[in-house]
Amino acid sequence: MRKKPGAPMRKRLRLGDGYAGRAALEQRRICIPNLVETGDYYIDSPANQGMDALVYYVVPLIAKGKVNGVLEIFRRSKDKAEAEWLDFLDTLAGQSSIAIDNSRLFTGLQLSHSDLLRAYDTTIEGWSRALDLRDKETEGHSLRVTEMTVRLAGLAGLSDEELVHVRYGALLHDIGKMGVPNAVLLKPGKLTEEEWEIMKKHTTYAFELLSPITYLRRALDIPYRHHEKWDGSGYPRGLKGEQLPLVARLFAVVDVWDALSSDRPYRHAWSRENIEAYIREQSGKHFDPKAVDILLNMLNETA
């Protein structure tokens, strides 16, 4: 099937094979002014099919000392201004080679970036699972709240780029508990006032752990601020209302929803009706009223 005029045409060949292969191997331009005289009138190239070309040029596409291919030109007649034409051809080949090299470099960077993101995801999910394993009481909690928070943040209008950091922050929301002693973290009964002060430090520990890691700085709002409350009675800084980052407000209501939905050694999971009633009662106190509305609407639509 013949290519349409102007459509890109490609052919694979070995170095040294034919004029094109020689041009690539020797890294020089080859010009054949009369294909009939050389006996190569039907030169084997897709670009020559049906053209009845007389003049043939092939130029290696070289960038940074590497041959990226060759550019073949077939013409029915020789240009009177041959020197100018050849200068133009060399310039065209040089620019084409640079464009090909840049395209390959960009593709390689994209692949490297994708591999790096997958490595980040795998590492962060591993940290999250390790935290859940340490605290058997909340096993599976991190993945559940992460999925729900990302959905909620999407409904709240956050961009895809922002959702990546929401996901990281939700997965690592309790990373600071690594700094809490087992005697406090795993205590089966009620914490004393002194123990509770130790427990509350996990948000500050999260900030200290994650802030030096550049790619996780935009994910800090959830691990550092998810225990702040809409009315200002939370910790660690007692922020109030819209002083709280939106993602922290969204996560706070999801975190409590999931906690009350799960069995714990000291209580059974609450019913959906009781959880919803509690969430509504805490709207404007613990929770941002808008975050409550978005969550309940989302859950009711999927019920």
Whether the pLDDT of residue 54 is over 90: the answer is no
Dist CA 136 CA 198 (whole Å) = 20
Confidence of residue 13 (pLDDT cuts 50, 70, 90): low
Residue whose C-alpha is closest to residue 256's, from 126, 117, 112, 152: 152
* Domain span including residue 200: 114-302
The residue written with tokens 């941002």 in the block is 288
- Find the mean pLDDT for residues 22-34: 82
Give the per-residue pLDDT at 43. 54
**pLDDT score recorded for residue 160:** 93
Please list the active-site residues.
177
Structure tokens at 209: 């752990």
Stretch 39-60: mean pLDDT: 62
Q: Which of 59-63, 254-258, 295-299 has the lowest mean pLDDT?
A: 59-63
In eight-state DSSP terms, residue 158 is -
The pLDDT confidence band at residue 85, using thresholds 50, 70 and 90, is confident
Q: What is the pLDDT of residues 209-245, one digit of tens each?
A: 999 988 889 999 999 999 999 999 999 999 999 999 9
- Is residue 7 in some structural domain? no
Q: Residue 276 sits in a domain of what CATH number?
A: 1.10.3210.10
Alpha-carbon span 52 to 35, nearest angstrom: 10
Q: What is the pTM of this model?
A: 0.64
Same domain for 68 and 122, yes or no, is no
What are the structure tokens assigned to 161, written together?
A: 């780029």
| Best CA proximity match to 265, nearest among 186, 177, 185, 188 | 188
Q: Does some domain include residue 2?
A: no
Q: How many domains does the chain have?
A: 2
Amino acid at 239: L
pLDDT, tens only, 103-119:
777 777 766 767 677 77
